[in-house]
Amino acid sequence: MKKEKYAILKDNLKTLGLYRVNEMFAEEAEKADAENIPYIEYLSTLIENQMIAKKERSINYRLKNAKFPFTKSIEAFDFSFQPNIDEKKIKSLSSLDFVNKAENILFIGPPGVGKTHLAVSFGLEACKNRIRTLFISAKELIDDLLIASNNNTLIQEIEKYTRLPMLIIDELGFIPISKEGANLFYQVISKKYEHSSIIITSNKPFSDWGDIFNDDVIAAAIIDRLVHHSHLFMITGRSYRVKEKLDENNKAIDNN
Q: What is the binding site for ligand ADP (CB under 6 A)? A: 72, 76-78, 81-82, 111-117, 201, 240-241
Residue 209: CB minimum distance to ligand ADP, A: 17
CA dist., res. 200 & res. 243, Å (int)? 24
> Which residue of 116, 133, 197, 230 would you call a contact of Mg ion, by CB under 5 A?
116
**Sole window of 30-38, 96-104, 114-122, 133-141 interacting with Mg ion (rule: CB under 5 A):** 114-122
Total site size for Mg ion, rule CB under 5 A: 1
Buried b (16+ CB within 10 A) or exposed e, 46-60: beebbeebeeeeeee
149 binds Mg ion (CB under 5 A): no
Judged by beta carbon, residue 6 or residue 81, the one nearer ligand ADP is 81
**Residue 173 site contact among Mg ion, ligand ADP, none (CB < 5 to 8 Å, cut-off depends on kind):** none
**Residue 72 site contact among Mg ion, ligand ADP, none (CB < 5 to 8 Å, cut-off depends on kind):** ligand ADP
Tell me if 148 sits within 8 A of 99, measured CB to CB. Answer: no
Buried b (16+ CB within 10 A) or exposed e, 186-211: bbbbbbbbeebbbbbbbbeebeebee
Residue 248: CB minimum distance to ligand ADP, A: 13
Distances (CA, A) of 222 to 29, 38, 197, 208, 213: 61, 62, 14, 13, 10
**Residue 205 site contact among Mg ion, ligand ADP, none (CB < 5 to 8 Å, cut-off depends on kind):** none
Residue 101: CB minimum distance to ligand ADP, A: 25
Distances (CA, A) of 80 to 33, 84, 151, 238: 56, 9, 49, 12
Residue 137: CB minimum distance to ligand ADP, A: 11
Residue 81: CB minimum distance to Mg ion, A: 16
Torsion of CA 9, 11, 16, 21, to 10 degrees: 60
Judged by beta carbon, residue 67 or residue 163, the one nearer ligand ADP is 67
Judged by beta carbon, residue 104 or residue 116, the one nearer Mg ion is 116
Judged by beta carbon, residue 116 or residue 197, the one nearer Mg ion is 116
Sites of contact with Mg ion (CB under 5 A): 116
